[in-house]
């Protein structure tokens, strides 16, 4: 029998590294859930929380948030600082004497569009029809248009057409006006009816033109429309102007911020970037919200094992050492996560100071690979650390970390500026040409994509 042995070298990923990477990539909410699970499973782990500000998440001092006060001092040096924030917390019914802040239940004072619609529908519909309403609301796109057909809803719930259309009619009766429309024509007709019946605002021939000649209107074929309806050319122009000024083809957009993303829950930042006299300061909030430690009981038991090992059985020693080691490793991974977030954010601040000071127009092209190279870490570490996490910038806006790496934001800002200053509607190709004169070379279809994401209509409909 010929037996040969060979030595091979290979890379193995240690369980500790896997655990550290898992903690690093968790979002703030996922981290809270992971901590809660670990606290439930590990009797040697203990969490000590500090009362935190429901506005920014920083540590409270009594009923006052030092970070918010500092920001207000910067915004308005003449303001009496304590009074407005004391009033704010008294209005909210909170303060140092209230229950501790729970990051897992942090929500915005404003409600999402879906929540708004469902609350309204609960008062209008029977309990049997509410599931249909929830399905319809769940199938609204970012414009507020319904993407599911009546036939589809009939099949899902096994009900007749009249019942689905009745629920849909109730949805379409709500604000924002035009919500639940299935296409542009229906959206405009819903708004036209609202203007007429609720506000007494009427425009001759608007209904006929929207119903039968919307495509020609978008193509500015005013003469053809006037000829077919046997009306003056100026009447068609008046209808066109009426639609542009009185109607909104994307009703859900009024629930959206500047980015076009529909507002939902308030995102609690993972990091705060504050402007100080000496520059910018980076603060990882988790290091302020709470800290983890080995419980005093298990810490003392662990020390006793080393000093007096004979006092415990082998099973007891294994139990104590296992859970204490597990708690220490978990705490180490949490601390490493904080340090990595701080290092990456500090690098982003140094590279994107102009963006922080002047807005998205001054955002510089930056990749995760460039940040990783500067910090001497792997690109995947930067990706894990920033994915699904949020930062509060000096303007008090909470943005995703990905915004620091999105060069297209500055292009979108330029497109928006060009369109806002246009004297006559510019085509996407003309916008691309103007961008090229400013040193930005992108294709016409890319301009169209960015314009649509900004909620801006094409030149034929502006």
174 shares its domain with 225: yes
Identify the domain boundary among 375, 405, 435.
405
Question: Rounded distance, CA 200 to CA 196, Å?
Answer: 5
Q: Is 244 within a domain? A: yes
Specify the DSSP element, H or E, that contains 275: strand 271-276
162 shares its domain with 195: yes
Identify the domain boundary among 362, 384, 405.
405
pLDDT in the model for residue 265? 38
245 shares its domain with 308: no
Beta bridge partners of 142: none
251 shares its domain with 323: no
pLDDT in the model for residue 106? 37
Quick one: 210 exposed, middle or buried, by C-beta within 10 A (0-12, 13-18, 19+)?
Answer: buried
pLDDT in the model for residue 170? 92
Q: Indicate whether 256 pLDDT > 80.
A: no
Q: Indicate whether 255 pLDDT > 70.
A: no
Q: Is 30 within a domain? A: no
Beta bridge partners of 324: none
The answer to whether 428 and 452 have CB atoms below 8 angstroms apart is no
Instruction: Give the tens place of pLDDT for each residue, 345-379.
Output: 999 999 999 888 887 667 787 888 889 999 999 88
Question: Rounded distance, CA 344 to CA 24, Å?
Answer: 12
141 shares its domain with 230: yes
- Encoded tokens for 462: 């502006």
Report which DSSP code applies to 190.
Answer: H
Q: Is 4 within a domain? A: no
Centroid of chain to Cα 97: 31
396 shares its domain with 419: no
Q: Which of 192, 205, 210, 197 is nearest to 246 (CA)?
A: 192
pLDDT in the model for residue 249? 87
Question: Rounded distance, CA 349 to CA 404, Å?
Answer: 9
Split at pLDDT 50, 70, 90, the class of 213 is: very high
> Tokens 């924002």 correspond to what residue?
176
Q: What is the DSSP string of 87-132?
A: HHHHHHT-STTSPPP-GGG---SSPPHHHHHHHHHHHHS-TTTHHH
Pick the most confident of 265-274, 289-298, 310-319.
310-319
Q: Is 282 within a domain? A: yes
Split at pLDDT 50, 70, 90, the class of 406 is: low
Question: Rounded distance, CA 459 to CA 219, Å?
Answer: 9
- For the segment 271-283, the average pLDDT, to the nearest whole number, is 89
Question: Rounded distance, CA 278 to CA 283, Å?
Answer: 15
421 shares its domain with 394: no
Q: What angle do CA 32, 35, 39 make, to 5 degrees?
A: 140
The answer to whether 270 and 285 have CB atoms below 8 angstroms apart is yes
- For the segment 19-32, the average pLDDT, to the nearest whole number, is 79
- Encoded tokens for 100: 């501790």
Question: Rounded distance, CA 226 to CA 230, Å?
Answer: 6
Share of the chain above pLDDT 90, in %: 30
Q: Is 87 within a domain? A: no
Identify the domain boundary among 387, 405, 423.
405
pLDDT in the model for residue 8? 56
Q: Is 194 within a domain? A: yes
The answer to whether 182 and 140 have CB atoms below 8 angstroms apart is no
221 shares its domain with 158: yes
- For the segment 318-333, the average pLDDT, to the nearest whole number, is 93
Q: Which of 359, 176, 150 is nearest to 262 (CA)?
A: 176
Question: Rounded distance, CA 193 to CA 373, Å?
Answer: 59
Mean pLDDT of the chain, nearest integer: 79
Quick one: 275 exposed, middle or buried, by C-beta within 10 A (0-12, 13-18, 19+)?
Answer: middle
Q: What is the DSSP string of 346-399?
A: HHHHHH-HHHHHH-GGGPPP--HHHHHHHHTS-HHHHHHHHTT-EEE-TTS-EE
Q: Indicate whether 280 pLDDT > 80.
A: yes
Q: Indicate whether 263 pLDDT > 80.
A: no
215 shares its domain with 312: no
pLDDT in the model for residue 390? 84
- For the segment 32-57, the average pLDDT, to the nearest whole number, is 78
379 shares its domain with 450: no
Share of the chain above pLDDT 70, in %: 77
Specify the DSSP element, H or E, that contains 307: helix 296-307
Looking only at the bridges linking them, the beta strands covering 279-284 and 271-276 are antiparallel
Name the residue range of residue 125's domain: 113-255
pLDDT in the model for residue 264? 38
The answer to whether 226 and 431 have CB atoms below 8 angstroms apart is no
Report which DSSP code applies to 420.
Answer: H
Q: Is 40 within a domain? A: no
Q: Is 80 within a domain? A: no
Split at pLDDT 50, 70, 90, the class of 325 is: very high
- For the segment 246-253, the average pLDDT, to the nearest whole number, is 84
- For the segment 304-329, the average pLDDT, to the nearest whole number, is 91
118 shares its domain with 197: yes
117 shares its domain with 247: yes
Instruction: Give the tens place of pLDDT for each residue, 103-126.
Output: 333 333 345 788 778 888 887 888
Q: Please tell me whether residue 435 adopts helix, strand or coil conformation.
A: helix
- For residue 441, give the CATH number of its domain: 1.10.10.60
pLDDT in the model for residue 195? 86
Number of domains in the chain: 3
What's the pTM? 0.48
């Amino acid at each position: 029998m010929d037996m040969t042995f060979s030595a091979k070298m290979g890379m193995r990923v240690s369980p500790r590294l896997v655990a550290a990477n898992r903690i690093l990539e968790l979002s703030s909410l996922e981290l809270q859930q992971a901590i809660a699970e670990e606290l439930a499973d590990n009797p040697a782990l203990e969490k000590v929380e500090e009362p935190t500000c429901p506005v920014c998440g920083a540590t409270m001092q009594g009923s006052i948030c030092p970070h918010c006060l500092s920001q207000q001092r910067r915004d308005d040096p003449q303001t009496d600082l304590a009074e407005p924030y004391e009033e704010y917390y008294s209005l909210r019914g909170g303060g140092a004497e209230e229950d501790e802040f729970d990051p897992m239940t942090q929500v915005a004072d404003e409600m999402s569009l879906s929540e708004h619609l469902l609350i309204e529908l609960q008062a209008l519909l029977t309990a049997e029809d509410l599931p249909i309403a929830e399905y319809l609301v769940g199938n609204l796109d970012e414009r507020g248009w319904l993407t599911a057909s009546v036939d589809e809803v009939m099949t899902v719930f096994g009900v007749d057409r009249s019942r689905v259309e009745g629920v849909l009619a109730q949805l379409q009766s709500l604000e924002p006006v035009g919500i639940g429309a299935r296409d542009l024509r229906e959206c405009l007709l819903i708004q036209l009816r609202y203007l007429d019946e609720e506000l007494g605002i009427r425009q001759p021939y608007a209904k006929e033109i929207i119903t039968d000649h919307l495509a020609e209107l978008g193509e500015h074929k005013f003469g053809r429309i006037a000829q077919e309806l046997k009306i003056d050319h100026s009447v068609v122009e008046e209808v066109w102007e009426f639609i542009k000024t009185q109607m909104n083809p994307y009703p859900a957009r009024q629930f959206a911020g500047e980015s076009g993303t529909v507002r939902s829950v308030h995102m609690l930042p993972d990091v705060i970037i504050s402007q100080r006299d000496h520059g910018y300061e980076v603060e990882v909030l988790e290091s302020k919200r709470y800290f983890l430690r080995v419980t005093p009981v298990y810490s003392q038991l662990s020390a006793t094992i080393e000093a007096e090992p004979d006092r415990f059985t082998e099973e007891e020693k294994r139990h104590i050492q296992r859970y204490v080691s597990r708690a220490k490793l978990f705490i180490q991974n949490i601390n490493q996560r904080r340090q990595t977030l701080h290092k990456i954010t500090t690098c982003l601040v140094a590279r994107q100071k102009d963006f922080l000071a002047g807005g998205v127009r001054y955002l510089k092209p930056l990749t995760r690979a460039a940040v990783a190279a500067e910090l001497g870490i792997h690109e995947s570490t930067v990706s894990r650390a920033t994915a699904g996490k949020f930062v509060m910038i000096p303007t008090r806006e909470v943005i995703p970390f990905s915004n620091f790496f999105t060069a297209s934001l500055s292009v979108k800002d330029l497109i928006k500026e060009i369109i806002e200053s246009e004297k006559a509607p510019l085509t996407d190709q003309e916008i691309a040409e103007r961008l090229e004169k400013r040193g930005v070379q992108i294709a016409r279809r890319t301009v169209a994509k960015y314009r649509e994401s900004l909620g801006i209509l094409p030149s034929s409909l502006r």
